Structure 1
Amino acid sequence: MLKDATMTEGRNDRGRPARRGARMAATLAAALIGATGCGDMGERWSRLFKRSKSEDSTPVPARASSNAVQDTVQGLATVEGLRVTVVRGYGLVVGLVGTGGSDAPDDVRKYLQQEILRRRTGISSKELLDSRDTAIVVVTGEVPAAAMSGQRFDVVVRAMGNQTTSLDGGMLLECDLKLLAATPRGVIEGKTFAVAAGPIFITPFRRGEDKGDDLRVGRVLGGGMLRESRRLRIVLDSPTYNIAARIRDRLNSRYGAAAPVADAVSPDVIQLTVPSAMRGNEKHFLDLVLHTTINGAPAFVERRAAELAEEIQHPQAPYDAISLAWEAMGRSVLPAIRPIYSHRTVAARFYAARAGMRLGDSQAVGIIVQHALASGDPFRLVAIEELANPTAGAAAADALQTLAGDPDNRVRIAAYKVMLQRRHPAISPEAVGGQFVLDVVECGGPPLVFVATSEQQRLALLGRKHTLRPPASYRDDDVTIAIDEGDSEFRIVRVNPRSKQASPLIRCGLDLREFIRLLGERPGETPDGRPTGLGLTYSGVVRVLNELHGQGALTGAFLVDRPSVSDELWKIRTPSRPESEF
């Protein structure tokens, strides 16, 4: 089952040799593929790459000696800007109802007083900080690798002191997030790198020994925003201006048609700029940079493409690196890789087609679609993610809608995420109460509710016949919900959190879409006197759905977000070096 996504990204020592990184990537890939229900992965992998005796005697090529690495940028340099950067700040959560607190170190209170004056809130800083309807918090975020200005990321919000009992229902006012540096004299704060603001999400899926502690920690999904792009630089292992200039010219020739992407600022440093066409795909751009050959002469590229076509047929070839090397060369390699589309080795077939499709080869699209549709295919989830590529065309759109109704729920969620990226017409989005988005996905399969816990407050209903079934009940300080066996309507009472006044009895049918709308829409009445909504937060709506699911009141599966396969693989495969943006 899909699990709650975590805020903390796994880190690795980017400075490790490429060979070790490749082994790590292979290990993780095997683990992730095994999670797709393919049975004993060791056996399947052995059968998949079964070799004859003559093949067994062939030396296994080390990744460092592969043609995918030789004569490329990564053979001469490393890239700065690939590490996750931690930022932190202090902020104020407002909108609480008697659950906040004012206790915090004096220097933090003084800092927030200055911030309140600077931002001209129009309210006394002392009044704000001393109110039990506000809470002083520490805000922490992890800025993704290669992030660009304006990019959003999740932040963790944690109450300071001991007075605050809950952040539920609160709103983080905009605060600055700064770079931190650990020194022998303590932690030093650097420049403001990002800002953060937004509604607090309290996950109902995490349970500690003391459940009350969970209410003091929340997240703002997509609440952090980067003020300036992460610095991206190629650093040569052996400084030489001649080599730096050659790399600059090669990268600008390959990727800088609209504007230069590389500038040799010194004999050992080449400043990188992500081209506008690859905004949102910064990691992919860096992958291509690292796998770009220094020599771009047509004769050399043709020869190297043919060498890689031979190498990828080896049972233990560095498939991903070869695919990226082909892609970095450009469309001229297509004649060399098309014969691999039908290779008997599934890995060679997939990675050749991946390069082809990314280069705009329509013949490759069908191969990727086949991998995505094939139950038990070890590259199925990765193939689905590849269908987000605009070059995949209409064939991908049709396949994705089919996959959204697949028996495997992991496949359904992967397809839904790609459909979102493509703005697929089968998704009908609806803003609920100005707080979250409810997606209704037109597809086959049984009903499935998907809860996003990262980047955006978003719910999705996949499949048909999303109804609720009695009996069920839910109660907290804000709302009471109940339905008895055999009834066709829920009985709901909403309590005003400030006045504690209860609403008249509200009734709602068994349609899940209408039920979610009622929970999340702003309170009010229609012209005929019917209530428009209860005004619950996204956290509140998810909490209700989670409880009803536990009681068996949802007719389908209830799944929670997790990181994508490609994101997990990218974290450990990309070489880097110690760096600082302080």
Structure 2
Amino acid sequence: MDAVMRTRSLWFIMAIPVIMGLAPCIIGCSLWMTGSKTPVLGETAEVKTPRLVGDLAVPYGLHSIVVEAIGLVTGLNGTGSDPLPSPERQFLLAEMQRRGVQNPNTVLASKNTSLVLVRGYLRPGIQKGDVFDVEVRVPSRSETTSLRGGFLLEVPLREMMILRGAVREGHILAKASGPVLVDPSADPEKDPVYATRGRILGGGVAERSRTLGLLLKPEHHSVANAARIESAINRRFYIVQRGLQEGVARAKTNEYVELKLHPRYKNNIPRYVAVVRAIPLRDNEQIRLQRLRELESELLNPATASQAALELEALGGPAVDVLKKGLTASSPVVRFHAAEALAYLDCPEAAPVLGQIARDEPAFRVYALAALSALNDLESVEILRELLKSPSAETRYGAFRALVELNPNDAAVAGEKLGDQFWYHVVRTEGPPMVHVTKNRRAEVVLFGDNIRLKGPFAVEAGNRIMVTSQEPGKVTVSRFAVNEADQKRFVSDSLDEIIRAVVELGGTYPDVVQMLQEARVAGALEARFEVDAVPEAGRRYEEKDAPNESDVAPSTVADHDVSDDDSSGTGG
């Protein structure tokens, strides 16, 4: 089991699920966290109402683990500082000496370097080699004025804390390095806090895998109960390894059952755990038929549809016909929950309903797109491609992420790694032109439209060393200026695609490109909508018109966040 570890978010951490490896992520919070609860049955319950796995056990491993480090950012343009005496400075000096760095005090004293505090969060179910975002900030008494243009040298990430004036550390759980993305609009004089903190997208790499599991409630600790849970789960879920079927559950002790992640739920781990907890401990034909009749009635009631669909999903194949009845219900709530469950049961009939809901119902959009990304069939792919034309930025980008999850080589969304710095995609679509960048999980630029241009005249920066200027219509100059280097220039057209490629060719990083795009938008040069992290949000509540109060429901796997309306117009960033 994972050790239980201790858990300040940056300016651009958003309360969103990511539909990517959408997180990966990943999507929302499980039903057991939001008030929809599995009924707890007494010892004298009738046989035809079986007890569920969730009656005996609670989830383990759904918290994020905090990993930290003290590191060094280099490449600053005179905005760094010599760190003041502190335990952190002592720790960094010792680490530099251990690595054989010559004259470490001289390195730290340079105005082009800065000591930084590094933090990352290992998400539930993360596997060795998976990447995650890293937060970087300067200590509270630091004289560093900006981290823009900086690069974090590789550091090991561990549990860390300061005890009795010294830094204490645990085992290495991950490593981190990469270019620091700072808010391009942050002015070091007006916004010193924002200018001295940043983020490295995908800059952390897990060194160990995290397991999921179930902890038996104290009153149910026994080898027999652990074995019952293992058996019930393995009847429903298995994975194939080396050609052999293997159950996902394994009773490790009389109080802990370890879970392997089923690949169908890789982008929605909370739902996976919720479904596992809804699996009946006892199952025979009589019990199953009675339960299907009860759940059918509950599924068709908007007030109980969410939990009913989850329990039907837990029953697997025998529940498909009942769930299909929900697809034609008059209530969008019922249709959504039925389609969501069917998608995770690999039923293509769910795709049209999920596509319509993703397009028209903001409250359910994030979950509909996540379900479509789990439903790998031709119809769901075509529906997602159609959503790329939507006027809603979050629907377009959400559909893009779902398609990338299904097949990153899909011709509609395939991209390339520019300069080994970030993912770059040009999506040829009939919708309005849009440029999308991310500040979470994956360094990525997406152009929706293949003829987006920058209208001159303009002069914008791409980091500390690159300028992009236009004095004549249709002509752009990309210039690199650096100390002790010959000036370099590239002459291109006003095509945004050509400009981005020229910036990267001259050594520009992802943060440099994002800064250029944001400055171009502010200058009015970007002839397209500009969006940052336009992903569907969790936490929106759905109120069905002309329905009783009980249908004022929260979608499945939704956390309580502020309600946000659809975004079919406007500019982000």
- TM-score of the pair, normalised by structure 2: 0.79
Q: Is the 8 A contact 1:64 1:70 kept in 2?
A: no
| Whole-angstrom distance in 2 between the partners of 1:409 and 1:9 | 17
- Judging changes above 3 Å, is the alpha-carbon distance between structure 1 residues 570 and 140 closer, same or farther for their aligned structure 2 residues? farther
Q: Which runs of 5+ in 2 are unaligned?
A: 1-9, 18-28, 240-244, 541-555, 561-573
Q: What's the offset of the Cα at 1:536? A: 2.0
Q: 1:558 aligns with which of 530, 533, 553?
A: 530
Aligned to 1:325: 311
C-alpha distance in 2 between matches for 1:402 and 1:279: 24
- 1:271 maps to 258
2:401 is paired with a residue whose SS is helix
State whether structure 2 residue 138 is matched by structure 1 residue 156.
Answer: no
Give runs of aligned pairs for residues 508-519 of structure 1, distance below 5 A.
508-519=492-503
1:363-414 per-position Cα deviation (integer Å, ceiling 9, x unaligned): 22333233334x35753443233221143x1112222222111122221111
Q: What residue in structure 1 maps to residue 395 of structure 2?
A: 411
Which secondary structure state, in structure 1, belongs to the residue aligned with residue 367 of structure 2? helix
Q: Which residue of 2 aligns with 1:88?
A: 68
Aligned residue in 2 for 1:388: 373
Distance 1:157 1:5, change over 3 A: closer
One-letter code aligned to 1:536: G
The alpha carbon displacement at 1:8 in A equals 6.9
User: Mapping of 1:174-213 within 5 angstroms?
Assistant: 174-180=154-160, 189-204=169-184, 210-213=190-193
Cα distance between partner residues in 2 of 1:472 and 1:278: 47
Partner amino acid for 1:490? Answer: V
Match status 1:367 vs 2:353: yes
For 1:22, the equivalent position in structure 2 comes to 35
* Aligned equivalent of 2:26: none
Q: Secondary structure at the match of 1:100?
A: coil
Question: Are the aligned partners of 2:69 and 2:160 in contact in 1 as well (CA < 8 Å)?
Answer: no
Cα displacement (A) at 1:270: 2.0
> Distance between the aligned counterparts of 1:267 and 1:413, measured in 2?
46
2:475 is matched with 489
Picking from 378, 386, 391, the partner of 1:402 is: 386
**Distance 1:378-1:141 versus aligned 2 partners, 3 A rule:** closer
Which shows bigger deviation, 308-317 or 442-451?
Answer: 308-317
For 1:245, which of 208, 211, 227 is the aligned residue?
Answer: 227
Cα distance in 2, alignment partners of residues 299 and 206 from structure 1: 65
Query: Which residue of 2 is the match for residue 306 of structure 1?
Result: 293
Q: 269, 278, 284: which is aligned to 1:291? A: 278
User: CA deviation digits over 1:257-277, x for unaligned, max 9?
Assistant: 533432333332223333466
Q: Please point out which of 59, 76, 79 is paired with 1:79.
A: 59
Stretch of structure 1 that moved more, 190-199 or 449-458: 190-199
* Cα distance per residue 1:43-79 (max 9 Å; x no partner): xxxxxxxxxxxxxxxxxxx874799x97222222211
* Counterpart for residue 91 of structure 2: 111
Structure 2 partner of 1:349: 335
* Partner amino acid, structure 2, of 1:299: Q
Pick from 80, 83, 104 the counterpart of residue 100 of structure 1: 80
- 1:62-105 alpha-carbon deviations (Å, 9 max, x no partner): 874799x9722222221121122222111112233433323144
Alpha-carbon distance in structure 2 between the residues aligned to 1:397 and 1:199: 34
Q: Do the aligned residues in 2 keep the contact of 1:94 with 1:171 (CA within 8 Å)?
A: yes
Q: What secondary structure does 1:388 align onto? A: helix
C-alpha distance after superposition, 1:313-341 (max 9, x if no partner) = 22311x33322222221112112222222
- C-alpha RMSD over aligned residues: 3.4
Change (3 A) 1:301 1:228: farther
Tell me if the contact between 2:78 and 2:111 (Cα under 8 Å) persists in the aligned partners.
yes
Q: How many residues align?
A: 508
Per-residue Cα deviation, 1:483-536 (whole angstroms, up to 9, x for no partner): 34x62212443211x2376446x4321111111111122xxxxxxxxxxxx322
Query: In terms of mean alpha carbon deviation, does 549-558 or 475-484 score higher?
Result: 475-484
Q: Deviations over 1:124-168 (max 9, x none)?
A: 544433433322111011222333333221111112353323222
Q: Contact 1:520–1:535 at 8 Å: present in 2 too?
A: yes
In 2, the alpha carbon distance for the partners of 1:517 and 1:276 equals 36
Question: Given the superposition, is the C-alpha separation of residues 117 and 8 from structure 1 closer, same or farther in structure 2, using an over 3 Å criterion?
Answer: farther
Q: What is the CA-CA distance between 1:304 and the residue it aligns to? A: 1.7
User: Which of the residues 410, 415, 429 maps onto 2:415?
Assistant: 429
User: Deviations 1:160-197 (Å, cap 9, x if unpaired)?
Assistant: 35332322222212212222579999996433322211
**Structure-2 separation of matches of 1:129 and 1:99:** 13
Residues 515-526 of structure 1 aligned to structure 2 (within 5 Å): 515-521=499-505
SS at match of 1:369: helix
Q: 1:472 to 1:137 in 2, by over 3 A?
A: same
Q: Which amino acid aligns with 2:442?
A: Q
Letter in 2 for 1:438: Y
Question: Cα offset for 1:199?
Answer: 1.5
Decide whether aligned partners of structure 1 residues 407 and 125 sit closer, same or farther in structure 2, where only a CA change above 3 A counts.
same
- Aligned 8 A contact 1:445 1:464 in 2: no
Q: Does the CA-based 8 Å contact 2:216-2:255 persist in structure 1? A: yes
Counterpart residue type for residue 196 of structure 1: A
User: Between Structure 1 and Structure 2, which shows a larger proportion of helix residues?
Assistant: 1
TM value normalised by structure 1: 0.78
Q: How far off is 1:106 after superposition?
A: 4.4
Q: How far did 1:206 drift?
A: 5.7
- Cα contact 1:382–1:565 (8 A) shared by 2: no
Counterpart of 2:242 in structure 1 is none
Q: CA deviation at 1:247?
A: 0.6
